[in-house]
Amino acid sequence: MTTTMNSSTTDARNAQSRKLRRRAGGIGYHLISMALAVAFLFPLLWAFLGSVRGPSPAGTGFTWLPTTWTLDNYISLANYGEGIWVYVMNSVVLAALTVGGTVVVSVLAGYGFARFQFKGKAALFAATLAILMVPYATILLPLYLILGAVGLQNSVLGLALALVMFQLPFGVFMMRNSFEAVPRELEEAALVDGCSNVGALRHVSLRIVTPGIVTVGLFAFLASWNEFLAPLIFLNDGASYTLPIMLVNIRSGAYGTIDFGALQAGVVVAVVPCLILYLLLQRYYVSGLVNGALRG
């Protein structure tokens, strides 16, 4: 009897100890997550505060919060060069063309690699992935000459074609893995019901691989929206510049002057679309990466 009571007491203490350890682990996890969130969000908050900070009175010294709040920095940004909305629209058009081209080609190529057998399939897929090992900066000059030969130099369309090429290796890899995760029986059932291969792809497979498509599109958008080197080389007309080029021009002001307020306002304008898009598509993005990693 005494042995049974002692055993029950020991089990209860062990269970309570495990519960306390799990609770402590959960608290530690949340504290670390909060610290990382603050570390990542602090630069964004600092940029926003800098964008609405007015001139500080002499002798006030450094303050975390602006002593005067103003939108003058955004007004200066709107009037800079060709106007902020010209650069924003150039970036939007570039991102739309890059995302559209990357998604269409990646979906078709990924479906072909996942579903069809043809001679040289493995070698072609390996060659596609091998592009990832080539620093894209080394091929910008040949691409510049090629675009000039076909009349696409200094155009957003030519720049978008170059960026699509840079995004295809990852996009094709992701979509091939996503399509391979789709059971073939679903497409075979659609074919039996009278669908063609294109119909089965459209009505069955695309609905299932939506997370992978969103992931490819999101990566293409972020790459094109934040790209600096390729637009700097391919574009030579101020009216065609994208947002990153404009921000660098603000930072390199005349006679070495820097309008930090307008620069911070430009950073906020550039970051907001990325944050909104990521928050809206986060569920698909995480799912797409997990599926691609499991199949890869």
Domain boundary residue among 44, 70, 96?
Answer: 70
Taking 90 as the threshold, does the pLDDT of residue 201 lie above it? no
84-115 helix and 156-180 helix, angle to the nearest 10 degrees = 40
Instruction: Read off the CATH number of the domain in which 252 is found.
Output: 1.10.3720.10
How confident is the model over 52-108, as pLDDT tens digits?
887 655 445 556 777 778 888 888 888 887 888 889 999 999 999 999 999 999 999
In a domain, 77, yes or no: no
Q: What is the pLDDT of residues 119-133, one digit of tens each?
A: 888 888 888 888 888
Domain that holds residue 219: 82-295
Residue 256: predicted pLDDT: 65
Q: Taking every pair of C-alpha atoms in the chain, what is the biggest distance, in angstroms? A: 94
- Considering the domain architecture, whether residues 60 and 88 belong to the same structural domain is answered as no
pLDDT tens per residue, range 37-49:
888 888 888 888 8
Same-domain status, 175 and 54: no
- For the chain, how many residues are written? 296
pTM above 0.85, yes or no: no
How far lies 69's CA from each of 56, 254, 272, in Å?
A: 10, 26, 20
DSSP state of 53: B
Q: What is d(CA 131, CA 229) in angstroms, rounded to the nearest whole number?
A: 18
- Residues 59, 162 share a domain: no
288 neighbors 215 (Cβ within 8 angstroms): yes
**65 and 104 inside one domain:** no
**Domains identified in the chain, total number:** 2
Judge residue 274's burial from the number of C-beta atoms within 10 Å of its C-beta, 0-12 exposed, 13-18 middle, 19 or more buried.
middle
Give the list of residues 6+ apart from residue 258 with CB closer than 8 angstroms, or none: 250, 251, 252
Q: What is the pLDDT of residue 164?
A: 92
Of 46, 70, 94, the last residue of a domain is: 70
Distance CA 269, CA 84 (A): 9
189 and 240, same domain (yes or no): yes
What is the rounded CA–CA span in Å between residue 207 and residue 201? 9
Are 218 and 268 contained in the same domain? yes
Quick one: residue 134, left, alpha or beta (phi over 0 = left, psi -120 to 50 = alpha)?
A: beta
Residue type, 181: A
At residue 160 the predicted structure's pLDDT band, cuts being 50, 70 and 90, is very high
C-alpha to C-alpha distances, 148 to 22, 110, 211, 240, 272, nearest whole angstrom: 63, 30, 37, 16, 34
| CA 177 distance to own-chain centroid | 19
Residue 23, in any domain of the structure: yes
Asked whether residue 252 falls in the same domain as residue 105, the answer is yes
Chain centroid to CA 157? 20
Q: How confident is the model at residue 221 (pLDDT cuts 50, 70, 90)?
A: very high
| For residue 293, pLDDT beyond 50 | no
